[in-house]
Structure 1
């Protein structure tokens, strides 16, 4: 990386790339926007009140980058290359500039929009209209690119000087414990890795999910609630338009992964509000949640039904789609726990509750559908069946498996 961005040089950089004039730069404000371990984000307000977000990928060892900003730029190029996808461009920010050499991307900033995660947590309300808009928006992305080889081939483009042999499978379990972990993870957090390895059914479920991962459309792959924006006057507009940001992980992928990641983000609002104490069991903690699941369930149901109503073809192709969505939800919660351990060096009682929920979602997804949505799978599909001709699920024979036909590797 040749040019580290900072508040001292960002205006000069924007001028040199013709993204702002000297007149615009005479009065400006620069602040550090929400950054991550991967990116440094600078929010620049120009003299004409126009706002730009300047993102720079942090370098890894040997000054290399993971080229995630290239993915966002590639997605923008896809929309330019195929005008028929114009409806999708309305939900994503406009990318104005990409500098591969310095791993810098500049995009417009949505001043009148709010992060949905912050909106939910601050107001503790979950309007079904918002969830419906999210489901419809996501279905539009997946439906428009579903099984379209020209889009798949375009998204396989590699950064200059790099190679891409295949699309990355995000269905990853927890890797094997090595002696190095004792120097990076606190003692209390080791309990998570011990619990994870004690359940063979959990590893088996993740291995099955990885085996069944079916990339068939363009996916966001990081669809958390803080990567979805809602207009500040959403309840005064005719259309409850949402926008999706941070497309750095987008790729050709499995639509169930996007849905599961988003559902997990909703569930984290509930799970983070639990009253946890060593003297009370999991059921009591769930009942004492400050934000009960029952408060969120109408939005979860509105989201999944809006998605399936706008993209019923996915059920014709994959009759176990909803079950896989539930399993991806559990996997996303497992990854969230590991991320908390890596960033905060902690594994507390709330994380233990999250682990138990995640395990159930992964190992008994059919029963978990009722727990998450409040109604059964057949009840979810019932209104859809009246509008669309959906195939009836086949009943599987209940046979005892005498051998495991797929190779199962720890951490795959």
Structure 2
């Protein structure tokens, strides 16, 4: 069954996911929110809702990742090792494997982090702190999760595909756009970027359970409207299709890369020094918004690193450098995603590539200028 806004109500009734009375009373509204899947937001009464996504029938790899996300949510609901993760994600309401359709709960007050920051202005330290706590919880659950071998057998234990672009791009992305093809050519012509990807691939360890795709679109801010709430909002992580057993540095690096992209948008000298503007501390690059993003990033690192004993001490420098290398790889991946609808020569694409190369050339300097805890004070 191919879902549309018109057929969705019939489908949800057939799956017993909604009560007939809600639809008949008018307490039912559908908004299409498509990306690579067919996505629908269903708003019900009293702020309740559903998020329904259906994988395209012709895309086997999307069915595989959607099934992986459904397995993840089932494990969170039923396996003790995964139970600590329940607070950071929405619960699953239904999974229809035969139709490639997953239904999750939806908060009517939820907004992506991009939308939240566009409206809220400067980066909010509470967001950074909650993100840090989520990753602390996620990575602290690793020992119990890895010991649950029946559960971990469902995951592919696979490195991010971006690490293998220089050698296998045509196999990984046979339908790449012209912009993406041009970007691959740039990577292959840049020994520093090839070395970056090879270095991270070589140091990759299967040491934790990862979300796998922590970009701003997959971070949702839910307003807390009830009395007595400890915070104004709650941070949720969505779209767990790429969750896997992997390296803890990847999730952390993805968050760092997201903040670096924020820095690039607010640094006044970005056009003048496109590679350095992402992490440099030069005074002429600092604006009020840039300083806010740097403080939020430092608050995130302070919260995460202090929990694992790498905020200071003998391992602090190596931890920062490693995270910056992973963040640089995430910037390359972000550039590749942007190049799907843009030229490889577009400024926002080339800026990502230049930043990745500059960070890898001096990860110690990059880490000190963005992750040092005193910035968060």
Q: Could you tell me how far apart the structure 1 residues matched to 2:351 and 2:303 are?
A: 29
1:209 aligns with 2:200: yes
Of the structure 1 ranges 232-241 and 68-77, higher mean CA displacement relative to structure 2 is found in 232-241
Unaligned runs of 5+ in 1: 159-165, 384-412
Match of 1:32? 32
> Is the 2:275–2:355 contact (alpha carbons within 8 Å) kept by the matching residues of 1?
no
Match of 1:131? 128
Deviation at 1:289, TM superposition (A): 7.6
Q: Supply the RMSD in Å over aligned alpha carbons.
A: 3.5
Match of 1:18? 16
Q: Could you tell me how far apart the structure 2 residues matched to 1:140 and 1:350 are?
A: 34
Q: Could you tell me how far apart the structure 2 residues matched to 1:88 and 1:102 are?
A: 27
Q: Could you tell me how far apart the structure 2 residues matched to 1:40 and 1:95 are?
A: 17
Q: Residues 9-408 of structure 1: matches in 2 within 5 Å?
A: 9-26=7-24, 27=26, 28-33=28-33, 35-37=34-36, 39-46=37-44, 50-60=48-58, 65-83=62-80, 85-146=82-143, 148-157=145-154, 166-170=156-160, 172-175=163-166, 184-185=177-178, 192-233=183-224, 237-239=229-231, 241-273=234-266, 280-282=272-274, 287=284, 293-312=290-309, 320-345=318-343, 347-373=345-371, 375=372
> Is the 1:131–1:300 contact (alpha carbons within 8 Å) kept by the matching residues of 2?
yes
- How many residue pairs were aligned? 362
> Is the 2:55–2:62 contact (alpha carbons within 8 Å) kept by the matching residues of 1?
yes
Match of 1:161? none
Max radius of gyration: which structure? 1
What secondary structure sits across from 1:110 in the alignment?
Answer: coil
Q: Could you tell me how far apart the structure 1 residues matched to 2:132 and 2:320 are?
A: 14
What secondary structure sits across from 2:166 in the alignment?
Answer: coil
TM normalised by structure 2 equals: 0.83
User: Deviation string for 1:363-387 (max 9, x for gaps)?
Assistant: 32122112323x38xx79xx9xxxx
> Is the 2:29–2:44 contact (alpha carbons within 8 Å) kept by the matching residues of 1?
yes
Q: Could you tell me how far apart the structure 2 residues matched to 1:284 and 1:210 are?
A: 24
User: Deviation string for 1:112-157 (max 9, x for gaps)?
Assistant: 3332222223332112222112101211111012474334541322
